Amino acid sequence: MTVTTEAPTLNTPVDVRFTKAGTPLAVRYHGRIWAVTEEPVHWFTSDSWWETRQTVPVGVGNVVDIEHWRVQVHHTSDSPLRTFELRRDPLSEQWLLEAVTDN
């Protein structure tokens, strides 16, 4: 994958549809359905909880791991591929579109 242009961080809420295996299948962004075309890349980073000073009740679970997916998508079969970087923060069910790049 070659990235030619890069957008600033967006942090835009999006809806993500997953397969039964738990990988992204499609992303709803700006009223369009963007289909995932290639094998997505999945990773986790750690939240700097000491900087945000968030307090969490005992027993809530994992409040540190931020989940990320990088997916290549298109909204029609002949549209150019784009790469979406998705993020879900701890204690949130909402996925955010962090960045969009053109391939």
**Using only C-alpha atoms, what is the Rg of the chain?**
15
Residue 95 burial class via C-beta count within 10 angstroms: exposed 0-12, middle 13-18, buried 19 and up: buried
Nearest-angstrom CA–CA distance, 13 and 94 = 7
pLDDT digits (tens, 9 = 90+) for 20-30: 999 999 999 98
Nearest-angstrom CA–CA distance, 22 and 83 = 19
Nearest-angstrom CA–CA distance, 14 and 31 = 10
Q: Is the dihedral of CA 44, 48, 52, 58 positive or negative?
A: positive
Mean residue pLDDT of the chain comes to 86
Question: Could you state, in order of their start, the residue ranges of all structural domains in the chain?
Answer: 5-102
pLDDT beyond 60 at 4? no
